[in-house]
Amino acid sequence: MPDIYDEEPIQVNRMLARKPGIAGISADVFAVAIVMDVVLFFVRSMFELGWDVFVFAVIVVDMTWLILTIRGVYRFVGKFIKPPVYYRANIPYVPVLSNASYPIPQTFRSED
């Protein structure tokens, strides 16, 4: 039975680690900005505002969102929504659908 700790780590292409984005803005920031712009468009239509007000509002809202989330959306949103607490994070990943039969490591959680 092979030991999963003795295997060499898998080499990963660094380009795959980059987040997808448009013009240097990551996709998670860009997608939320587009949603906010669509909401502003509907607000503009409901209140029959001019295009100059709409363009000004889009610039202000998008720049504010970009400034707040430029270092990562999770840093801004994480202040309001707490991330989940993970237990048993010391167990290595064992693929469910693999053909290899790896032993399931036994771990014991310390008393809290």
Q: What is the pLDDT of residues 12-34, one digit of tens each?
A: 666 666 677 777 778 888 888 99
21, 27 in Cβ contact below 8 A? yes
Q: How far apart are CA 52 and CA 18, in angstroms?
A: 36
Neighbours of 94 (CB within 10 A): 12
Using DSSP, state whether 111 is helix, strand or coil: coil
**Contacts with 54 (C-beta within 8 Å, 6 or more apart), sequence order:** 40, 41, 44
Q: How confident is the model at residue 53 (pLDDT cuts 50, 70, 90)?
A: very high
